[in-house]
Amino acid sequence: MRKWYEEAHENHQGVIISSRIRLARNLKDYPFPNRAVSKQSQEVLQVVGDAVKSSQGSLDRKYNQLLMTDVSRVDKIAMMEMHIISPNFVKVQRPSALILREDEAISIMVNEEDHIRIQSMKSGMDLLGAMASANEVDDLFETKVDYAFDSRLGYLTACPTNLGTGLRASYMIHVPALETTGQLQLILDAIGKFGLIVRGIYGEGSEAQGSVFQVSNQVTLGMTEAEIIENLSSVTKQIVEQELMVRQKLLNEKRHRFEDAVFRSYGILSHARMITSKEAMTMLSDMKLGIELGIVKTEGNTRINIYSLMSKIQPANLQIMHNRQLNADERDMARAEYLRQQLPKVING
């Protein structure tokens, strides 16, 4: 089954890697997960699991359910690295489950911070498509379970910042030019006025890697879902325009430096015997930028999915690949070997 992140995302010159919608929902007759006892958490798992099973015929793809007690910590971290689950869900100790669509575009976390967190992912700039997929699942749930809802406050959530629509929308963006020139900081300082926030690659509390950031809404109450998406999309389009403008300016003024950085990164990625995660992310960012600017082309026009490579070279995913625990040096060697195998030969653009 082809995964969502294996799809092409040529729109906006690759600046927007992905679109994500997350809906927070809770069951009416149960306390929030952080206040529930084990028996209540188990009952929530049963209710939600039954709702999914009875909906399989109405859903367009197959869904599989995993009890998180049956999943090893390294597998959980690997799923987090692939953006299937949240960093918080890795640490959850209460009875919980993951309901995952076979293409990994829809994941439903049960008993994370809220009883139900529906996450929908799309490649490129497609929040409306992600919203439609999330709503399909949400609407089916709503016919089978009673949500905690207030006519004035909207959907009730464990954290007050999610009250109202319960919607978090985000774009994952690749903005190396803005970061390199320091202009990204100006955007970070201004973006809060629009009810938005920029975070690292794994969301709240994480750092950026390879110039990849998440931009998302902060306000969920007092705005409709359509208004949240329109506001986020409008501001993100402006960030994209700024990134592309700065890229072109730098290319015009410092083309030789650009070319040198890209081909140096390719040389190391395609020949190194050991490479750290941070170094590889920086160099893959250079490669992604070089491809999008036409500095390099692959032999035979072989497509390189840089985002997929960025995800697969993370520590837990490397250990899953090798089916054993790896120490730091072994991970650096495994990462270098994987990149040597995956990167096609490149030629001048």
CB 132 within 8 A of CB 163: no
Q: Which residues contact 333 (CB under 8 A, 6 or more apart)?
A: 273, 274
Helix (H, G, I), strand (E, B) or coil at 138: helix
Alpha-carbon distance 262 to 253, whole Å?
16
Mean pLDDT confidence for 179-190? 88
Helix (H, G, I), strand (E, B) or coil at 153: coil
CB 67 within 8 A of CB 99: no
Look up residue 166 and give its DSSP letter: -
Residue 345 tokens read as 């030969």
In this structure, the number of other CB atoms found within 10 A of the CB of residue 148 comes to 18
Provide the pLDDT for residue 110. Answer: 98
Nearest to 23 by CA among 146, 215, 163: 163
Provide the pLDDT for residue 56. Answer: 72
Alpha-carbon distance 134 to 139, whole Å?
9
- The reported pTM is 0.93
What is the secondary structure of 210-244 as a DSSP string? TTEEEEEE---SSS-HHHHHHHHHHHHHHHHHHHH
The third-level CATH classification (topology) of the domain covering 1-11+21-164 is Creatine Kinase; Chain A, domain 2 (3.30.590)
Q: What is the pLDDT of residues 47-65, one digit of tens each?
A: 999 998 887 777 767 889 9
Query: Is the pLDDT confidence value at 250 over 60?
Result: yes
Q: What is the pLDDT of residues 109-135, one digit of tens each?
A: 999 999 999 999 999 999 999 999 999
Partners of 20 in beta bridges: 121, 170
CB 309 within 8 A of CB 339: yes
What is the average pLDDT value for the chain, to the nearest integer? 91
Provide the pLDDT for residue 11. Answer: 53
Alpha-carbon distance 28 to 220, whole Å?
20
Q: What is the pLDDT of residues 269-321, one digit of tens each?
A: 999 999 999 999 999 999 999 988 888 887 777 777 888 899 999 999 999 99
Provide the pLDDT for residue 349. Answer: 57
Containing 340, the helix (H) or strand (E) segment is helix 328-342
In this structure, the number of other CB atoms found within 10 A of the CB of residue 197 comes to 16
Q: Where are the domains of the chain?
A: 1-11+21-164, 243-348
Cβ neighbourhood burial of 78 (10 Å; 0-12, 13-18, 19+): buried
